[in-house]
Structure 1
Amino acid sequence: MKTQAGIGRRAGALITAAAAVGAVVALPVPAVALPGSTVAVALPEQAVAAEGSALPPYTFDGAAQRVQGAASSSDAVQLKTGQTYRDTLKKDGKVYYRVDLDKQNAYVSVVAVPKTGGKVEYGDGFKVSMQDSSGTECGYQQANFSSAEYTRPLAAYARRIVDAESSTCQRAGAYYVLVEREAKATSAADDWELEIRYTSEPVLKKAGPTELPEVWASGTPAPPGGGPQRRQGGSGVHDATSLTQGEWRSDIRPGQTLFYRVPLDWGQQLFATAELGSSAAGDEYIGHALVLSLENPALGHVDENTVSYDGKPATLALDPLRPVAHENRSSYDEATSGMRFAGWYYLSATLNPAMAKEYGDRTVPLTLRVSVRGSTKPGPGYDGDPGRFTVTADDKEAAENGASGAQAAERSDSMTVVAAAGIGSGTVLLLGLGAWTLVARRRAA
């Protein structure tokens, strides 16, 4: 006959085993400082390349799938929504990809990454377009090098928009994404690396406004106060450093591109300026010394500006942009049309490689001043999950803490694993206790 003490020891063993299971499956979570927390854990900053060393390469999404664009639409590989892909594009190349669409808006973005230091000419770039099965063009965008003729990542997107008043590109079925590279004969023949993303956007439950307000706040607000805070930019879209309103200090090398992202909700406006700090190394004039570019949450190009440099502080500002609104897509102006949905907006800053010859291959102080104006408004009423076209509490937290996109994704994945592990270990514990209780009752009977 088993004693109650013996039964108790068995129950203790079951509980210990269940706890051990939980300990095994509970994976470590990257530390992130939470608002209001008594313990602030600093997130690792992006590495700053030392003087004379190779520039950090563009950071591609590690989960991107390698594909090969087809020469014919009939052989095009199919892209899946939410997935990132990688490919290469030859000089004067033309490649096709396929997406299967139903009743949803679709965006396929391409970030083209030329080889650092390669030669490009005015007008070099690429075009990405979406076509239906009859070859009708649904929506396209071009990204080209203009006066700032030096290599840097370029972004553009193709799109298909569901529109009850349109008769083109509205049928469900196969659509084709065409990426075409344009290059002068004297430009470098290097292949360009491509980072490709396919994102879908729900349609609205009911039609909203389509006309733009004639009056909107276009005046530039006063720069944010508080002084600069250290926040080094990332090396790609995937690890772009999160920013919120404030003054942010980085270091940038000649030829380097730094990436940042800012969450913008419906009704909010973004104002951004970039300042190159003064130099004691000389006063030579460098035209288009810095390029500041803005892309929207679907990585469509919105706006850019450049500034020259002569050793003194130099500042550029993006043009005032309309508040984020669904009806902005009705505009033919690219900067207005680009402000069409809520989510992460991406800033990238590139320093002219010619700076190295005149001022030395060393870092130059770069200060970004970001202002977000306007109260958050309700969304347009999507008929489904908005996906990346929204701003969540986690996004706001990442912006406050400076977490990169990659770090935020890792934290989200780790929290999901921990939650699943907690459910799993809890289930084991309950099953163990239930089994022990059943055995104890039978023996007592």
Structure 2
Amino acid sequence: MVRGRTAVWAAALGLVAGLPGVAYADGAAPGPLPTYRAADGAQAVEGKPSTADAPLIEAGNVYRDTLGPGERMYRLVLDKDGSDVYVSAVVRPAAGAKVSGGDGIDVEIMTTAGRSCPDSGGRANFGYDAYPIAAAGVRRGSEDEDCAPAGVYYAKVTRTSAKGYDQSPWPLEIKVQREPGRGPGAPTTAPGTWPSGAPALPGTEAVPRDGGTGFNDARALGAGVWRDEMRPGQTRFYRVPLDWGQQLGLGAELAAAKMTKTYGSASGGLTVSLYSPYRGLISDKDVSYDGKQAGITLEKTPPVTYENRFANDRTVQPVSLAGWYYVAVTMGAKVADFTEDAVPVPLTLRLDVAGAPVKGPAYQGSPAAGGFGVGDEDRAAAREGLTAPEAAEAAERHSTMRIVAGAGFGTGTVLLLVLGGWTLLGRRGRGPTAA
């Protein structure tokens, strides 16, 4: 009975939300893979091939569209306030879509004169499979003379697709985020050297945490060893809070699968991608998988510092904001050619977060409004393994409980006061007691 109560309380607190899915029953055919969870409240928009009719997109909002091969334009109206504005694009190919290694997406910020803002572009390419990928463009409001003035700008999202590969429109998610201008004393030059190289990854016992389908429901993780399960063609998303001064080390391993053939191998059988808090690609890597074992270790990131954005290295520039960093892990669809699809394959993630948080740069406003920074709620979400929707629900429950508790306390106090008043009036009405 006690164990039953414990399980109920754990579920109520959201602590069992991170457990991997139950294995399929013997002989049961596997169901379809979970689809990408789109952002709640995303506004429908239709990008245009020309700037003439480009729809307006604004900071703080998420938009949904579709994107075929070619360019789509979106309009931004920006202030001269020193802020940096990030526009990210996520494309979601259909399962089994045929893509080449040169296919991908670009995001670029442009002036009304058609000039690209300096270092504004971001790109992401597919590997051997079609899976959700993201790229981001940025307008630097302080450093870019061409793009500092107030006025109209354009975000150009381009999908490249080689002839003979999938040409159908794909769902597109656009997110616009604003980082306030820097205050006095903020750095303006690229950093020097930092501790780099392969991370020292932990070897502790793995704790179950199931990944999300995309950026919007990515499972929160902290430093440690985490266990999940994957099927061929599936991509799992996770998020890790990195504060100013911290570095992330990351390793992913696929264990043995249930083989259906004596031998098999899939190029790009395991792919790991790391994204910034504004969904800009930092790095990605893939290896082949033979159904027995595969592993990837990404070089640890530089410490999160504001000045990284001024570096020439494209893998350093995005590590310039405190906030949620996203990890996407993909198991190649061709693995199904030689393994049993109905039996998920164990995935192990090893995370090392090095360095103590340090004080961030001075801003002219709060970066939290743009989705940046690391707060106590974020650290709690990482400890408990909550997705963003689960964290929001937990915060709402906590707020409701506080209101109820406050209301209960208030009602009880009023009742005591009323009862006390009645007693006092009763005593006054009876007059002095006879001796």
Cα distance change on mapping 1:436 and 1:215 into 2, 3 Å: same
402-411 or 45-54, larger mean C-alpha shift = 45-54
Asked if the contact 1:70–1:97 (Cα under 8 Å) also holds between the matched residues in 2, the reply is no
Distance 1:437 1:161, change over 3 A: farther
Letter of the structure 1 residue corresponding to residue 257 of structure 2: S
Could you tell me which residue of structure 1 aligns to residue 348 of structure 2? Answer: 367
1:7-26 matches, cutoff 5 A: none
- What do residues 188-218 of structure 1 show as CA deviations (whole Å, max 9, x unaligned)? 1221111111110011111423444443211
- Gap runs ≥5 in structure 1: 1-29, 34-40, 439-443
Q: Is the contact between residue 61 and residue 238 of structure 1 (CA under 8 Å) also seen in structure 2?
A: yes
Matching of residue 354 in structure 1 with residue 350 in structure 2: no
Q: Flag the 1:156–1:425 CA change in 2: closer, same or farther, 3 A.
A: farther
Q: How does 1:194-343 map to 2 (within 5 A)?
A: 194-281=172-259, 282-343=262-323
The one-character-per-residue Cα deviations of 1:298-344 (angstroms, maximum 9, x if unpaired) are 11111111111223322111123211000000012111001011000
Q: Secondary structure at the match of 1:303?
A: strand
Percent identity between the two aligned chains: 37
**Mapped contact 1:49–1:55 kept (Cα < 8 A):** no
Q: Indicate the larger mover: 88-97 or 301-310.
A: 88-97
- Partners in 1 of 2:306 and 2:16 — Cα distance? 37
> Which residue of structure 2 lines up, in the alignment, with residue 115 of structure 1?
94
Unpaired runs of 5+ in structure 2? 1-10, 422-427, 429-435
Is the contact made by 2:224 and 2:352 (CA closer than 8 Å) also made in structure 1?
Answer: yes
Other-structure match for 2:357: 376
SS where residue 149 of structure 2 aligns? Answer: coil
- 2:177·2:278 contact (CA, 8 Å) conserved in 1? yes
CA 1:278–1:400: 2 relative to 1, 3 Å: same
For 2:252 and 2:172, the matched residues in 1 are separated by 27
Letter in 1 for 2:177: T
Query: Which residue does 1:405 correspond to in 2?
Result: 388
The separation in 1 between residues aligned to 2:406 and 2:113, in whole angstroms, is 51
- 2:367 is aligned to 386
The residue matched to 1:335 in structure 2 has which SS?
A: coil
2:379 to 396, 415, 424: 396
* Contact kept? 2:105, 2:160, Cα under 8 Å: yes
| In structure 1, distance between residues paired with 2:52 and 2:416 | 60
Identify which range, 204-213 or 425-434, moves more after superposition. Answer: 425-434
Match in the other structure for 1:134:
113
Pairwise CA RMSD: 3.0
- Does structure 1 retain, via aligned residues, the 8 Å contact 2:18–2:209? no
CA contact (8 A) 1:73 1:98 kept: no
Alignment check: 8 A CA contact 1:76 1:98 kept: no
* Offset at residue 433 of structure 1 (A): 11
For these two proteins, the number of residue pairs brought into alignment is 408
TM superposition score normalised by structure 2: 0.85
